[in-house]
Amino acid sequence: MSPTNKDKRPYKKSSISPSDTPEERVTVVPIDEPVVPIDEPEEPIDEPEVPNSHEKKVARYIAHTTVYACLQNNLVRLIKLIQLTNTQPMNILELGFGGNSQTAIKVAKEFKDNIKLTVVNGSLETINSGKMLAENERLSIDFINENVNTYITRGIAQFDLVYLLYNFHHIADSDMEKKHEKKYFLDACYENMKVLSFLCIADAFFPETCDDSNLLADESLEELYKQRATESQLSTFWGVLEGIGLQKVQDATREANDSYELEMNSFVRIKEKNGEYLVKKSWLVKAAQSDRKGFAVIINKDVNCIGDAILLFKKIR
């Protein structure tokens, strides 16, 4: 059926003219000419230096590297094991939570109401960002803003498990040979923890062969740290990469390079002996069992071949 005159719309004459408002203008680029982004610089701009940018780098590193994830997963498995022997919800303490509370959030999410989690950090900024994260995730975590060294000398008798993840090496010692502060820390934990409770130390350790009285001469340590840095770089790259595309690859590469740098910097700090150096596992085991302490070693396990291990001690008397 052909349309009648009544069905036809009246013809309205109009013309297409350039709009006056820039948002409405369309730029057409001929297909065979190279497209040059007008607003974007050719070189990616470095992130602005904000006061806590180091903390942010550490947080991203923790979130993305398998090196960290490996220890976290082992900690979760270990809590599950301890839970088998506990009838009550476990009361757990993390000493030196940080790096955006990654481990605390993971533990709280995994065990929900089956545990009560308290975390301690000396920086108010870290405490506040941790609180925000926990609120966003609707997780119940008690945050304590205090130096771990003073906190352990008082309120830790109520905990079934005290854990430190990459934090034991932060207990600074001016005397690398004698390690007074680390010994004092272990003493204080032992004295203040309740009988039958656990202490878990998950960290990076010096190789047993390393000459820790003369680190500058130890080439194997440098090799190990290059290996650690490469491992962090690779795993961060894959952890960050979200699909394929030049920008995504550039972002992932930048994050991965930050991780490399962080590992190498920690190696430089160890070599410069600013107090935050590692110990050997054999030293830790001996120190946990010596003098007045009677920690039993329940688990002593390497979790990779680049020096990370998890140790579980129990206060048996």
Ligand X SMILES: C[S@@+](CC[C@H](N)C(=O)[O-])C[C@H]1O[C@@H](n2cnc3c(N)ncnc32)[C@H](O)[C@@H]1O
- Residues within the interface to ligand X (CB under 6 A): 62, 96-99, 102-103, 121-123, 126, 147-149, 165-167, 170
**Distance, CA of 96 to CA of 122 (rounded, Å):** 8
Q: In terms of CB distance, is 97 or 295 closer to ligand X?
A: 97
**Distance, CA of 114 to CA of 87 (rounded, Å):** 10
CB atoms within 10 A of CB 106: 16
Smallest gap from Cβ 224 to ligand X, in A, equals 18
Q: In terms of CB distance, is 10 or 51 closer to ligand X?
A: 51
Q: What angle do CA 187, 191, 192 make, to 5 degrees?
A: 120
Tokens of 33: 């000419």
Q: In terms of CB distance, is 170 or 280 closer to ligand X?
A: 170
Single out the residue of 262, 201, 205, 189 nearest to residue 230, CA to CA. Answer: 262
Q: In terms of CB distance, is 103 or 192 closer to ligand X?
A: 103
Q: SS3 for 175?
A: coil
Smallest gap from Cβ 31 to ligand X, in A, equals 50
Do 126 and 196 form a contact (C-beta atoms < 8 A)? no
Q: In terms of CB distance, is 19 or 123 closer to ligand X?
A: 123
Smallest gap from Cβ 23 to ligand X, in A, equals 45
**Distance, CA of 44 to CA of 85 (rounded, Å):** 54
Output helix, strand, coil percentages for the chain, rounded to the nearest 5.
Answer: 45, 15, 40
**Distance, CA of 144 to CA of 127 (rounded, Å):** 7
**Distance, CA of 220 to CA of 236 (rounded, Å):** 24
Tokens of 93: 């303490």
Do 310 and 301 form a contact (C-beta atoms < 8 A)? yes
**Distance, CA of 157 to CA of 150 (rounded, Å):** 14
Smallest gap from Cβ 56 to ligand X, in A, equals 12
Smallest gap from Cβ 166 to ligand X, in A, equals 4
**Distance, CA of 146 to CA of 148 (rounded, Å):** 6
Smallest gap from Cβ 16 to ligand X, in A, equals 59
Q: In terms of CB distance, is 91 or 126 closer to ligand X?
A: 126
Smallest gap from Cβ 232 to ligand X, in A, equals 13
Point out the residue whose Cβ comes nearest to ligand X.
Answer: 98
Smallest gap from Cβ 147 to ligand X, in A, equals 4
Smallest gap from Cβ 48 to ligand X, in A, equals 22
Q: In terms of CB distance, is 126 or 233 closer to ligand X?
A: 126
**Distance, CA of 170 to CA of 98 (rounded, Å):** 12
Q: In terms of CB distance, is 161 or 218 closer to ligand X?
A: 161
Q: In terms of CB distance, is 102 or 197 closer to ligand X?
A: 102
- Phi and psi at 2, nearest 5°, equal -85, 145
